[in-house]
Structure formats: structure tokens, C-alpha cells
Structure 1
Amino acid sequence: MTDLTGRTVVVTGGNSGLGLGMAEGVGRAGAQVVIWSRTATRNEKAVAALAEAGVRASAVACDTSDEASVDKAMAETTSRYGAVDCMIANAGIAAAAPYAETSLDDWHRVLRTNLDGTFLCTRAAARHFIERGEGGAMVVVSSTISRYGGAGQAAYTTSKSGLVGLGRTLAVELARHRVRVNILVPGWVATAMNTHLRENEAFMRATTARTPVRRWAQPDEFHEVAAFLADPTLMYHTGNEVIVDGGYTVY
């Protein structure tokens, strides 16, 4: 089992859904978890839930799409814990709309959170890792939609596809600084963000029929993979797309 004792792991968007599942996973492996997210009430609930699971966790208010907010969150986190050992860039949003009806504002809103936000958070982590000189780890959270596209999801698909390229580039460029970077590619995971999809019986039949394990994942099924990817010592495993989708992309 991965041992992250003594490590500090930041999870953006870690107060719900897949992010919360990954936060619990790295915390159960011994890490100090720091959630970066905008909503204070949800942050507090997430920290309390993690504490009940035996995880040491705290939260820092952060708008990951805002440069000043990200820099402030990094400064606060390093001041509180001395260092960051892993950045899990997970925060993201979706906005479904037919392509011909997608407004430029909606397009920018999704890319600003998903792509720009991940850039800002991983850049802050990279600067910290390089200055500290002790290496580190990053996990860039993409989606299987980056491989097959999705009707009505042009902005979301584009952002998640861009994250694959970003993760690969970071792996190559930061390897000389002993920074390990991998891309997590989750399939269908039951979260609050997709409740409306799970209420659509036809959609659920179609997606589960195409998934060899015949169901969607739960966030807690990402505990171990998150801990593994967050371990900065496994330096030779970098630049990889780790697909966790129940076999969806190969079926």
C-alpha cells in the first residue's frame, strides 16, 4: 500500500465528488490533505467528513481560475505546512449546450475553470517544487470524453483534451526537477455534477451497456489510484494516462 505519511497533498475541487474521493484516498495513505475550493460551507463539510474517516484535512478558499487567488492559496498552504508534495488538479465544471447555441461566454467560463485553472495550479506547484528542489508529484485530471467526444459538450471536451497535452508537457519538462506528472482519465463516476444524467434511464442503459463492468464507478474507487499517483518517489512512472473507466474506452 502507498505510504504518504509526512506528505502534504493539495486537491483542487476536493470538497465533493471525485475530488473528495481522491482526497480521502491520499489521506487514508497518511497524507495531510489540503482542499482548495471556492465554497466555504462545502469545504467545511468536506473537512468534517474526512475527519470522520480518520483523515487529517484542512481547506483553503481558492478560486482556481484566478491567478491571485491561486498564488495566495499556495502561499497560505506552504506557510501552514512548510511544503506541498503533490498537486492534484481536479477542479472542473461542465456546461451542456448544442454547439451552434454555445455562447462565447459559456465557452470561456468552462475553459477558464478547467484549462486555465489547471494551468495556474500546476504552475504554482511547479514553481514551488523547483524552488524547493526536492521533487514532487502532480495529477492532472482529464476525462474519457477527451478520447471520444460528447454531443453538447464542446467546451468541456476541448478543456479535457487540452489537459492531456498539458500533463504530457509537464511530465517532459519537469522530469529534470524530479517532478512526476501523470494524467488521470476517469470514466463514468457517480457525482453530484452528473445527477441529471443518472436520472435519464435511456442514458444510463446506454452507458452501462458499453461499460464492461456494467455500472458506473463510485468516488471511493479512486482511493488507491489517487494515493499511488500522488507518491512523488515513484519518479520513473511519469507522463502516463491512467485510465480508470471499467473498460469503457476499449469496449
Structure 2
Amino acid sequence: MTDLSGVTAVVTGGNSGIGRAMAVGIAKAGGAVSIWSRNADRNAEVVDELRALGATAMAVSCDVADEAAVADAMQQTVTELGPLGCFVANAGTVAPASQVVDTTLESWRAIVRTNLDGAFLCTREAARRFVEQGNGGSIIVVSSTSSRYGAAGLASYASSKTALLGLSRTLAVELARHRVRCNTLIPGWTRTGITTHLQEDDRFMAATTARTPVRRWADPDEYQEIAAFLADPKLTFHTGNEVVVDGGYTVF
């Protein structure tokens, strides 16, 4: 069983969906967790949930695409919880479906700002902290199976999630000498708030379920154990990897 006792983890976008599940998984393994997200009420709910598990937890209201806010959130976290041990760059958003020919530069930039710029600012801050501490650590970047395929109507989302693969690989190479690992989690179709509109489309659900070998979508809680695994400081040789958790979707 993974033991994350003494590990302080940050989970961006950790107040719902896959991010919340990853925070719970790390907390169950004994880690202390800091939730970074903009919705203070939801943050507080998840902090209460984590504390009910016996974990040490806190939350910071943070826009991950705001450079100053990210630096401040990191300082608050390490001041209260101690040295950083794991950083989960999970925060992401998606725009209403729009074909490329109809997509405005403004809407494109709104998604890239959170999904890519935000991940860059957060992982850069984490990397700086890890190098300064000199004790190694783990970065987990959450991408999407849309990084494997074209996502009709979701060019900004798919492009940003694909770009995260390059960011994650570069972090793995650059930070290896500092004993900092960086791996990418690639989730498949999952029942989260961001996919509610898709879950209400019977034809879409039937098509994607038939395309998935296990014949169902994932529940967010199925990402708990993988989060703890990727955060485990004992896995010192595991870096630069893309961990696909999609029920076989990308190989079928």
C-alpha cells in the first residue's frame, strides 16, 4: 500500500471531478493536501471531506493563470503544510463546442490560458520550489485522451491538452538531475461535471461506451489510487511516462 506520510501535495482544480478524486487518493495514503481552485465554497467542502479522512488539508482560492496568485498560493501552502512533495497540475476548462472555422481567437485564448498557461505557471513554480528544497519530488500533469485523437468542435481543448505532453516530457528531462519526477495522467471518458452535457446525450454515450472495451465510462473515484501511486516518493526511476487510464479506449 502506498504510504504518503510526510508528503505535502498540491492539487489544482482539486475541488471537483478527477482533481477531487486525486486529492482524496493522496489524503487516504497519508499525504497532506492543498487544494487550489477559484471556487471558495467548493474548496471548503473538499477540505472538510479530506479532514474527515484524517488528513491535513487546506485550500487556496487561486486562478492558476495568474502568475502572482500562483506564487502566493505556493507560499501559503508550504508555510502551512511544509515542503512541497507532489504537485498535481489538473486544473482545466473547456469551451462550448465550436468548429475551427467558427472559433474566435478570444475563445481559443480563454481555454489555452487555463489549460496550458496555467499548467506552465504552476509546474514552473513547483519546479522552482523543488530545486530550492533539494529533496526531489513528483509532478503529475493531467492531460486527456483528446491528446491522442482529433476532437471535433474542441480544438482549443485538444490543442492545450496535447501541448501538456510536451511540457511534461520537458519537465521530466530537465528536473531528473534534481530527483524530481514528472509523469502525465491521461484519463478516458469520465463522469464529471465538465462532461454532464455529454452524459445527457444518449447517442454519444452509446457510441463512446461501445468504443471502450470495458463498456462503460469511469467514475472519478477510480483515479484515487493512481494519484497516490504517481505521488509516491519511492518510485525514483518512474518519470517521463504517460499513464493512460481509459478502459482501453485508445487501443481499441
What TM-score bracket applies, with the shorter chain setting the length?
Answer: over 0.9
| Per-residue deviation, 1:56 | 2.8
C-alpha distance in 1, partners of 2:181/2:209?
Answer: 33
How far 1:49 sits from its partner (Å)? 2.4
**1-structure distance, mates of 2:58, 2:223:** 20
- Counterpart of 2:42 in structure 1 is 42
Instruction: Give 1:6's aligned residue.
Output: 6
CA–CA separation in structure 2 for the residues paired with 1:231 and 1:67: 28
Paired with 1:8 and 1:52, the residues of 2 have a C-alpha distance of 17
TM-score by length of 1: 0.98
Q: Greater shift after overlay, 226-235 or 207-216?
A: 226-235
In structure 2, distance between residues paired with 1:150 and 1:53: 38
2:101 aligns with 100
Matching residue's letter, 1:192: G
Give the superposition deviation at 1:101: 1.0
Superposition map of 1:188-199 within 5 A: 188-199=189-200
Q: Return the letter of the residue paired with 2:57.
A: A
Match of 1:238 in 2: 239
| Distance in 2 (alpha carbons) for counterparts of 1:206 and 1:55 | 40
CA positional deviation for 1:93: 0.2
Q: Check conservation: 1:24, 1:55, Cα contact below 8 A.
A: no
* Percent identity over paired residues: 61
After the TM superposition, list the runs of 4 or more consecutive aligned residues in structure 1 that deviate by more than 4 angstroms: none
**Structure 2 residue ranges without an equivalent (≥5):** none
What one-letter code is carried by the residue in structure 1 that aligns with 2:127?
Answer: A
The aligned counterpart of 2:140 is 139
Gaps of 5+ in 1: none
Per-residue deviation, residues 28-82 of structure 1 (Å, max 9, x unmatched): 0000011001111111111122233443321011110100000000111111122
- Does 1:83 pair with 2:83? yes
Question: How many aligned positions are there?
Answer: 251
Which residue pairs with 2:15 in the alignment? 15
Task: Tell me the secondary structure at the aligned position of residue 181 of structure 1.
Answer: strand
Query: 2: CA distance between counterparts of 1:138 and 1:167?
Result: 8
| 1:108-165 deviation per Cα after TM superposition (whole angstroms, max 9, x unaligned) | 0100000000000000000000001001100000000000121000000000000011
Amino acid at match of 1:18: I
Q: Residue 200 of structure 1 aligns with which residue?
A: 201
> Aligned residue for 2:185?
184
